[in-house]
Amino acid sequence: MSDDDFNMSMRKFLKQVGVTSQQAIEEAVRDADAAGPFEAKVVLSIPELGLEHVVTGTIKGRG
C-alpha cells in the first residue's frame, strides 16, 4: 500500500468516526432531553498493532 492510499484510507476512517459519533451524541442528548455538560471518552483500538488510544473530554451542554 502506498503512502497516499494509507493516508486516504485513514482520513476516510477518521471522517466516518467523527460524523457518526457526532450523530450518535446529538441523538442521545435529544432522546435524554439532557442539558449537560457531559464527560466523554473514546477508545480507539487496533488489536493487530497493539494500539489502544483513549481520548477524554467534556462536551458542553446546550444553552
**Residue 34 to residues 23, 25, 30, 43, 44: CA-CA distances in angstroms?**
16, 11, 7, 23, 26
Given this model, what pLDDT does residue 63 score? 61
Residue 36 has a pLDDT of 84
Residue 5: pLDDT above 80? yes
| pTM for this prediction | 0.81
**Mean pLDDT score, 6-18:** 97
If one counts every other C-beta atom within 10 angstroms of the C-beta of residue 18, the result is 10
The tens digit of pLDDT for each residue in 13-55 reads 999 999 999 999 999 998 988 888 999 999 999 999 999 999 9
